Chain A
Amino acid sequence: DIQMTQSPSSLSASVGDRVTITCRASQSISSYLNWYQQKPGKAPKLLIYAASSLQSGVPSRFSGSGSGTDFTLTISSLQPEDFATYYCQQSYSTITFGPGTRLEIK
């Protein structure tokens, strides 16, 4: 199976900050990479699909980029509701998720 890693594993930031989370695949996955946000006690929510396509209804401060093995999720200006855990997921082969990045308030 393709292994997914994320960095950092946790991150402290302030409202208004620009934040970047990185996801790396153990082999090339083209653009078969999706990003999710999960808040405590809730189901995950799709943010970005196919590496860079913004899911309908998701604020434009979220963006995704990358292809091959290296991908990034960027939040351009953090809002209070953005503090959550973020997961990447590849769908190139047997589906696997990254371990998550916990974004906390500084």
Chain B
Amino acid sequence: EVQLVESGGGLVKPGGSLRLSCAASGFTFSNAWMSWVRQAPGKGLEWVGRIKSKTDGGTTNYAAPVKGRFTISRDDSKNTLYLQMNSLKTEDTAVYYCITDLSWFDYWGQGTLVTVSS
């Protein structure tokens, strides 16, 4: 059974940093492209970024609002995906989901809430 479990969310002040983790199981993580999607309270879905598998180059792509501030990485030895978030803004407040990425998003974690507030 595919499982994606996010952790690391919490309350952070504007300008601060936070690192989210996503522990994956039930599939061959090293072969998977992975994405992060977020959802602000009461709002719609917003793609954050993607990391390809190392065999496909391991490259990353980001949405414009987070480019230069957020970094996606992976540790295939630990089956874990990361989202390093720096220079956080109040508008980054959202539930962040870790997702398997086949161009469509078939498996989603339960999400972790990040609140950016002073």
Contact = CB atoms under 8 A, between A and B. Distances in A.
Contacts of A99: 44
Contact of A43 (B46, B50, B104, B111): B111
B56 interface: no
B106 A44 contact: no
Interface of chain A: mostly helix, strand, loop or mixed: loop
B49 to A, nearest CB: 9
Interface residues on A, range: 20 to 34
Given A50-B104, A87-B44, A43 B35 contact: no
15 contacts: A1-B64, A38-B45, A43-B97, A44-B105, A46-B105, A46-B106, A50-B104, A87-B44, A94-B47, A95-B50, A96-B47, A97-B45, A97-B47, A99-B44, A100-B44
Given A49-B106, A87-B44, A91-B103, 17 more contacts: A32-B103, A36-B45, A36-B105, A38-B45, A43-B97, A43-B109, A44-B97, A45-B108, A46-B105, A50-B104, A55-B106, A89-B45, A89-B47, A89-B104, A95-B50, A97-B44, A97-B45
